[in-house]
Amino acid sequence: METDEFLTIANSSEGIYKEKGSKFLAFAFPVESEDQAKQHLDELKNQYHDARHHCYAYLIGPEMDIHRMNDDGEPSSTAGKPIFGQIRSHNLTNILIVVVRYFGGTLLGTSGLIRAYKSAAGDALNNAKIIKKTIQSFYQIRFDYSLMSSVEKILHDLDLRPREKTFEAACIYKVGIRKNMEQKMVEQLRRINGLHYKKIEDP
């Protein structure tokens, strides 16, 4: 991996496109899982239950390895693909875009549909705040009180602040670290005898 950063949107946003009586309402959401994407989609289907189509695309994961497109009854590749194209052209991930269409009675044709879904999704992204995030790994570090100064020095040198500290029979720190600094921290922790560390899910 060349970088441990990725682009996404800070909050949900909306966009709209109209042509020949048809109305395309676009909704963009930051998501971190397919379950979150499905939940947003279900909510929109309930809210706009009278719309003819609820087309969408999402891209999830820092590696951009989870994705899906859906035309929801529109001609193949006229809806989900242009929505997905807007996500890719902005180099975004962890995002869902849903475009809800109200049919206006006039067929738009293949090129018209592609333009409409692309424009609606693009408008939602133009109204979104795009932010840069870092990929992080999380660790639990367990050590005796006598090792505290050594552990604190490592964390200080790496400019890390524990997300959580527990002081019982032993000290337990939970820390998050940027992916490209992970190996450096592990190498330093490994040098301290009697210290135990393990990788954990986001605490």
Q: What is the per-residue pLDDT across 110-126, written as a single tens digit (0 to 9) for each?
A: 999 999 999 999 999 99
Indicate yes or no: pTM above 0.75.
yes
CATH number of the domain at 5-132, please?
A: 3.30.230.30
Quote the CA–CA distance of 56 and 71 in Å, as a whole number.
7
User: Running DSSP on this structure, what letter comes out for residue 170?
Assistant: S
CATH 3.30.230.30 in the chain is located at 5-132
- The predicted-structure confidence for 55-90, as pLDDT tens digits, reads as follows 999 999 988 999 999 999 999 999 999 999 999 999
For residue 102, what are the CA distances in angstroms to 12, 39, 107, 116? 21, 21, 12, 12
Delimiting residues of CATH 3.30.70.1150 domain(s) in the chain? 136-200
Rg (CA), the chain: 23
In angstroms, the CA 58 to CA 31 distance is 9
Q: Is 63 helix (H, G, I), strand (E, B) or coil?
A: coil
Q: Was domain 136-200 assigned CATH 3.30.70.1150?
A: yes
DSSP bridge pairs for 164: 174
